Amino acid sequence: MYLRYSFRLEPTSGQRVALARTFGCARVVYNDALAARKAAYQADRSRIPVGALAKRVITEAKKTPERAWLAEVSVDALQSSLRDLDTAYSNFFASVTGQRRGRRVGLPRFKSKKETRHTVRFSRNGFRLRPDGRLNLAKIGDVRVRWSRPLPSAPSSVTVIKDACGRYFASFVVEIDPDTLPPSDSEVGIDLGLTTYAVLSNGSTIDNPRFLRRAERRLRKAQQVLSRKAKGSKNRAKARTRVARAHARVADARRDWCHRTASRLVRDNQAVYLEDLAVSGLARTRMAKSVHDAAWGTFRRVLEEKAARYGRHVGVVSRWLPSSQTCHVCWVVDGKKPLHVRTWRCGSCGTEHDRDLNASRVILAAGQAERLNAPGGPVRPGAAIPYQAQPVERGTHPKAQPDTTGSQTGTPAFQGGEDAKRIPSGWCLGTRAPGRGAFIVRGRVW
């Protein structure tokens, strides 16, 4: 597997000028290539190959007076810019045709000179590591690196980044072997929130650090100073850098906290189960600032990456799972509850529940059931039917199933006893479908 290792760079004043020149040339080549591809498509809907495009916007452009200064920087950085453009087009077409998951990716756009973040990538031919620890970049020189840890293997490429507050970083791509941790018997479900960041099914909690809220006063003062500076002045540029530096402190602290917390969860548990939260939707509500400050999406991504690296499992259950409405003792769906209700009593078994702790235990049971039934039903006629999932209705328009979950009446989904013993994962919120191991919850098969 491939990982990125980032280290802080300390270029000299001359190296800063050379890096700025490289950033600018890479941006110009990218924009020229994008303009050429757009013109070719509008003319006869043709696509210029990458080799012909590189010859036009790099090799032949260097011979013209308007682009002669492209020869002052490394050609490796310019070619990497063209590869980035080709990747952007590939992602766009894959997104349009449905081959790429996630949000729809738009067409590549022209890069602006006024952007505050600049990047340029060097392949193996454009950089080398010196014995004294310095990073040699083509036509830039030996740059000092703050090494915080050794690289596990020889890097295949390096990306030089200048962020909005003027810091320089070197991001190395290295290939490593997965470091599998010893097996653990512990599995945990997590209910994410805002008042308490996470409530674990074992009863422990993780406090919400609220990095942005704690830094709001300092950010507000810096933004007020920026708003009073004349546009286009050097003092405004300095104030803008101070605002960016204050935001960078918040982002760095949040990122470090996510990595530390995720590492601890992955180290202590064999499997971690989360709920698939609609973060983009919650970020458009009145709780938007708190949702962005919590960074649930970043936390989930970091957790999945570390689990893949160390041989652990991260399961994500459906966002439509009624985790806050279901009793984890008798599995009765008790109905919706407003957010101010933090504790409730089950109307069937009388158990007193903490809202978040109960939700985390329901998420744990649902995640274990989904992991147990992960193979699914047969995919072709005559195939052997696995024990975990018998053939059920899985069409585009499934037959309507009776709602026997008891969500309105408080009727238990199953009577416990021997049924509960046969289903150790505990996710039994609906009637049993034809065949053992699959359950129908409001017309959906689990």
Catalytic residues: 191, 275, 356
CA separation for the pair 319, 333 (Å, rounded)? 16
CA separation for the pair 326, 379 (Å, rounded)? 32
CA separation for the pair 395, 388 (Å, rounded)? 19
CA separation for the pair 38, 236 (Å, rounded)? 36
Are the C-beta atoms of 272 and 265 separated by less than 8 Å?
Answer: yes
Distance of CA 420 to the CA centre of its chain: 36
The owner of tokens 């994410």 is 192
* Cβ-based neighbours of 79, under 8 Å, separated by 6 or more: 54, 58, 123
The owner of tokens 């999932």 is 389
CA separation for the pair 256, 63 (Å, rounded)? 48
